[in-house]
Structure 1
Amino acid sequence: MARAFTGSADSTAPVDEIHAAFGSEDYWRDRLATSEAVTTLDDLDVGDDGTIVVRYTLDVGRQLLPGMVARLLPGDVTMRYQETWTPREQVVAGHIAVSVSGGLGSCDATTRLEPTATGSALRFDGRVEVKIPLMAGNLEKAIGTDLARNIPSVMDFTTTWIDENR
């Protein structure tokens, strides 16, 4: 059974600058370098209509997994991400999909980056599903809570990155 999560994050950077950062290979290399996992930028495509599709892979291994989870899994864990960001008038609609190796689970979220009086806000709604018997419910709740807490840190990183690279 999948678990839902929601949240929002604010930025002092305007929507168009965040969208431009999402289309920059330098931005992604810098952002992915902050991960504890070995992370690879697999593909970055910026379409003529401004749609950005980025794919990256996190090789989580076993050392970053909670002890009980690591003991239950037969091998290392890889997470494949695809983020799509599409400009629509004054907002940017997004979709984030994550698949976990071995069919262990997935995450799917819709996002909306919209202007505010002081910059922009990212709103997100998602669901996480874990396919590990007996642990799925607790892990889904923990992962959903963690994602809702971590997405604002991505916006903080993006805001700082924009300030430093203007």
Structure 2
Amino acid sequence: MATKLRHTITFPFGMAAYVAAVSDTEYWKALSVGSPEAPGELESTDITDTGAEVHLIQRIPGDKLPPAVTALVSGDLAVKRSVIMAFLADDHTTGSFDADVTGTPATTKGTIDATGADECTVVFTGSVNVRIPLVGGKIEKMIAENLVGLFDAERDFTIAWHDEHS
């Protein structure tokens, strides 16, 4: 049974600034680099006036993984992420996200709904599924907690990006 995920973030700027960031390939390149603890790379972007499709890989070094995960997999984890967004109106953007952890039975998928002309609010709704009997639910909860942290970190990155590039 999948673990449900719902998280809301808010930006101190409107939809136009949010779309300007997420429709910039340089934004995604900088975001995907990550940190030494979780380095990443941008696989591809397809950005138009009406939307964006982004694919990136983030790596988590094996020595940074919790024991519940290292008991099941050895070495580093590669997380393949996709984000697809449609820029619907001046105050509304919608889309989807998914992530697969290579070599594991763990998947995450959900929707993105962004609204607000003056202050942008983004709601992530989805689920985490780990198909391992007995311990899958525990790992799902850990992944869901880490996703909330990721969404918050990406909000902070986006605010800093906006401040630097506007």
Task: With the length of structure 2 as denominator, give the TM-score of the two structures.
Answer: 0.89
Structure 1 segments unaligned to the other structure (5+ residues): none
Amino acid at match of 1:159: I
Q: Distance in 1 between matches of 2:121 and 2:130?
A: 29
**Secondary structure of the corresponding residue to residue 26 of structure 1:** helix
The count of residues paired between Structure 1 and Structure 2 equals 164
Corresponding position of 1:2 = 2
Amino acid at match of 1:108: K
Q: Distance in 2 between matches of 1:133 and 1:75?
A: 22
Corresponding position of 1:21 = 21
Instruction: Let me know the Cα RMSD of the aligned residues.
Output: 1.8
CA contact (8 A) 2:23 2:47 kept: yes
Cα deviations by residue, 1:45-88 (Å, 9 ceiling, x for unpaired): 113x4210000011224122112321321443211000011111
Deviates more, 1:57-66 or 1:14-23: 57-66
Q: Distance in 2 between matches of 1:57 and 1:33?
A: 9
Deviates more, 1:127-136 or 1:6-15: 127-136
**Secondary structure of the corresponding residue to residue 161 of structure 1:** helix
Deviates more, 1:107-116 or 1:142-151: 142-151
For residues 139 and 68 of structure 1, do their structure 2 counterparts lie closer, same or farther at Cα, with a shift above 3 Å needed? closer
- Note the 1:24-63 alignment, pairs <5 A: 24-35=24-35, 36-47=37-48, 49-63=49-63
Q: Distance in 2 between matches of 1:146 and 1:122?
A: 17
Amino acid at match of 1:122: V
Identity over aligned residues, as a percent? Answer: 25
Q: Distance in 1 between matches of 2:43 and 2:26?
A: 13
Q: Distance in 1 between matches of 2:64 and 2:85?
A: 29
Corresponding position of 1:87 = 87
CA contact (8 A) 1:10 1:152 kept: no
Q: Distance in 1 between matches of 2:71 and 2:7?
A: 32
Structure 2 segments unaligned to the other structure (5+ residues): none
Does residue 11 of structure 1 match 2:11?
yes
Corresponding position of 2:132 = 132
Q: Distance in 2 between matches of 1:4 and 1:67?
A: 23
Task: With the length of structure 1 as denominator, give the TM-score of the two structures.
Answer: 0.89
**Secondary structure of the corresponding residue to residue 28 of structure 1:** helix
For residues 65 and 133 of structure 1, do their structure 2 counterparts lie closer, same or farther at Cα, with a shift above 3 Å needed? farther
Cα deviations by residue, 1:108-160 (Å, 9 ceiling, x for unpaired): 020111106x5110111110011233321111112213323431331122012
Q: Distance in 1 between matches of 2:85 and 2:124?
A: 13
Q: Distance in 1 between matches of 2:80 and 2:112?
A: 18
CA contact (8 A) 1:19 1:85 kept: no
Q: Distance in 2 between matches of 1:121 and 1:150?
A: 16
- Please report how far the alpha carbon of residue 10 of structure 1 lies from its aligned counterpart in structure 2 after TM superposition: 0.7
